[in-house]
Structure 1
Amino acid sequence: MSTTTTEQVISQPGIYDIPEDAYHSDPVPGGSLSSSGARALLQPGGPAKFRWQQDNPPGPKKPFEIGSAAHKLVLDAGPELVRIDADEWRTKEIKERVAKVRERGAIPLKPADWDQVHGMAAAIQKHPLAAALFDPAAGQPEKTFIWQDPDTGVWRRARLDWLPHPSGGRLVIADYKTTTDASGHAVAKTIANYGYFMQDPWYRDAVTAAGLDDDPLFVFVFQEKSAPYLINVVALDPDDVVAGRDRNCRALDLYANCSATGSWPGYSSDEIAPIILPRWTTDAWSASDVITEDIL
């Protein structure tokens, strides 16, 4: 079902096993668009910022080690985890050891962090629904999908946390996210703030384009990073999926146009943009004037 490749260039649609860094550096000649890229394009000044980031990729960053470590244990994919038996990393010896671990691409963890991520993984395994969604016998982690959008011709890519084996029923795509608060209200805000409602239809499109399922279901598995490591498995309302798909279409059209013209606009170009202050600003100044007059 998938192709394992060590090549850094992919020119055909399909499902691939490639390293995470190869995925993020974009293995498609001429460029492709990911879900995170689509979200970035629609931000204010998005096209210009997107193009700059593509032409000037940032250097290595310290990973979000707790989240990455939890992904490693839950999905059984990702960098090696190394327990550093020291609560404080202040001595020269410990700092050097930590640096060497990171240099080889592994994640160093303090004893408390080690226990934390193992506790999170254990909670996933005890959760009936989450355990079934990430059952090692029923799927594979971190598959890269490459396909061409039929409407715009834009090459698209997606890296699914988990791809279940076809079972004859509806395919359920699960995406694992760690958070500080997995309550319904907090999760709704997170999905809205980070534009995850665009990720849902983007990943559905990937599965459909690969011919795996005409109508897959996408769910988020949110897990809290503090004990008891509560889990909330959620699916978006159909209207929100439609809204996400509409935004994806806008991003694809924008990307196609910018690529064709070579113009990646920022905030404004040849005209002065009017600015209207928020209502609270003028109200606050009016209140301040009243207070000043009372003092005088």
Structure 2
Amino acid sequence: MTATWEVARPGVFDDVPADVYHADPVPGGSLSSSEARRLLPPSCPALFRHYKDHPEDRTTTAALDFGQAAHTLVLGDGPELVEVDADSYRTKAAQTQRDAARVAGAVPLLPRELETVRAMAKVLREHPVAAKLLERGRPERSLFWADETTGTRCRARLDWQRDSRPGRRVIVPDYKTAVSAEPRAFGRSVLQHGYHVQAAWYLAAIQALGLGGDDSAFLFIVQEKTAPYVVTVCELDADALALGQALTRAAIDTYQRCEEDGRWPGYSDDIVHISLPPWAADALEDASHE
């Protein structure tokens, strides 16, 4: 990682390396969408603080490598992809190649994985809406701004910023790989992973930096990871975005409060009363009739 990197002013930057962005190049610290979600249930401020303070505890998995590789081929920007000459990572030699690639900042892939991400990129380029969304623009742009209410420094990294046209609505596409791109299934993923918070966060960034108005749109390009690599383009409805905006506000306010207090609490400072799920009562009733 480039240790000399710092971003001390708001703006849009094209040349911030991914590892620098994720390590947070803002003096005094800033908050990203994924970090904001770590402040909110089912996480808590204590887990957020540990995540920020101990980057060495973050692990890279094969699933993360695969997602990064797909991003690289679809967006045309990202780390080098290194093919590991093996059919699995069972052997020490394959593990050594994999680890060396990661240390060098590259993404290791088994041959079948590389073939898959290439096929995914081809299918996406043939989708009439997704392909058009990724025309004429710039990948991996880093945005830095200050929250107007608290002054909290914030950051976001756009997968793709489309070239702007006067009088045209700003649309921000975001690429996701998924087990299922079926709309209802992806809706469940939105709630599970907090993608509605991400959408609200990125739209706030666009508006804060004057890149778009309140009619800007955030679209998810969702692609399945198994053949035939189906693609669906999704936009959250107004209710989902409103919830994302409320949670964004809650996360920033929580961050500001914890910074001021110098205290990052866990799930609760009080005694928590726990109820069993409804099916537990049914199990008790069944047992009483035996």
TM-score, scaled relative to structure 2:
0.91
CA contact (8 A) 2:37 2:43 kept: no
Q: Which runs of 5+ in 2 are unaligned?
A: none
Confirm or deny that 1:192 pairs with 2:194. Answer: no
One-letter identity of the residue aligned with 1:232: T
In 2: Cα distance, 1:95 partner to 1:171 partner: 44
Structure 2 equivalent of residue 203 of structure 1? 202
In 2: Cα distance, 1:144 partner to 1:87 partner: 36
One-letter identity of the residue aligned with 1:284: A
In 2: Cα distance, 1:105 partner to 1:44 partner: 31
Structure 1 equivalent of residue 242 of structure 2? 242
Structure 2 equivalent of residue 8 of structure 1? 5
Structure 1 equivalent of residue 69 of structure 2? 69
Structure 1 equivalent of residue 280 of structure 2? 281
Structure 2 equivalent of residue 26 of structure 1? 24
In 1: Cα distance, 2:253 partner to 2:217 partner: 25
One-letter identity of the residue aligned with 1:15: V
CA contact (8 A) 1:142 1:162 kept: yes
Deviation at 1:87, TM superposition (A): 2.4
Q: Which runs of 4+ in 1 moved over 6 A?
A: none
CA contact (8 A) 2:79 2:106 kept: yes
In 2: Cα distance, 1:189 partner to 1:40 partner: 19
Structure 2 equivalent of residue 171 of structure 1? 170
CA contact (8 A) 2:170 2:212 kept: yes
Structure 1 equivalent of residue 52 of structure 2? 54
In 2: Cα distance, 1:121 partner to 1:105 partner: 22
SS of the equivalent of 1:222 reads: strand
CA deviation string 1:113-158 (max 9, x = no partner)? 11111000001111121111112xx111111111001111111111
Q: Which is greater in Rg?
A: 1
Q: How do 1:263-278 and structure 2 match up within 5 A?
A: 263-269=263-269, 271-278=270-277
Structure 2 equivalent of residue 294 of structure 1? none
Percent identical among aligned pairs is 43
SS of the equivalent of 1:162 reads: strand
One-letter identity of the residue aligned with 2:32: S
Deviation at 1:268, TM superposition (A): 2.7
One-letter identity of the residue aligned with 1:146: F
Q: 1:97 to 1:201 in 2, by over 3 A?
A: closer
One-letter identity of the residue aligned with 1:155: R
Confirm or deny that 1:35 pairs with 2:24. Answer: no
SS of the equivalent of 2:67 reads: helix
Tell me the C-alpha RMSD between the 2 structures: 1.9
CA contact (8 A) 1:45 1:267 kept: yes
Count the aligned residue pairs: 284
Deviation at 1:99, TM superposition (A): 3.6
CA deviation string 1:208-256 (max 9, x = no partner)? 1111111311000000111111100010101211111011111111111
SS of the equivalent of 1:128 reads: coil
CA contact (8 A) 1:6 1:18 kept: no
One-letter identity of the residue aligned with 1:77: D
SS of the equivalent of 1:170 reads: coil
Structure 2 equivalent of residue 104 of structure 1? 104
Q: Which runs of 5+ in 1 are unaligned?
A: 292-296
Q: 1:199 to 1:96 in 2, by over 3 A?
A: closer
TM-score, scaled relative to structure 1:
0.90
